[in-house]
Amino acid sequence: METTRLSSKGQIILPKSVRDSHHWLPGTEFMVEDTPDGVLLRPAKPFQPTRLEEVIGCTGYQGPAKTLQDMEDAIEKGVKARHARR
């Protein structure tokens, strides 16, 4: 077990061996939890948990398959509509 020291600014340096074993790079954000046994640091998760239905997008399309020409026509129509609004 390694030791570290609290600085006058309230900073603690995590030993390099700990940072390396967890692949924590400079700028990693942590959640700090005060526990009866001490302080627990957990890396903050960059994204909120989501359900598949919230992120599936058009991959849930159930109609007939579109041809490449159908897709190109739809893109052209969308571009023309966008430019017409300006």
Quick: pLDDT tens for 5-59. 999 999 999 999 999 999 999 999 999 999 999 999 999 987 778 888 787 776 7
61 within domain boundaries: yes
Q: Are 76 and 84 in contact (CB under 8 A)?
A: no
- Return the pLDDT at 22: 93
Its domain, for residue 64, covers 52-84
> Does the pLDDT value for residue 64 go beyond 90?
no
**Contacts of range 82-85, beta carbons closer than 8 Å, 24 or more positions apart:** none
69 within domain boundaries: yes
42 within domain boundaries: no
12 within domain boundaries: no
22 within domain boundaries: no
- Return the pLDDT at 68: 94
80 within domain boundaries: yes
Looking at residues 71-83, what average pLDDT do you find? 92
33 within domain boundaries: no
The pair of three-digit structure tokens given for residue 85, joined into one six-digit string: 């609004």
Indicate the number of domains in the chain. 1
| Predicted TM-score (pTM) of this structure | 0.49
66 within domain boundaries: yes
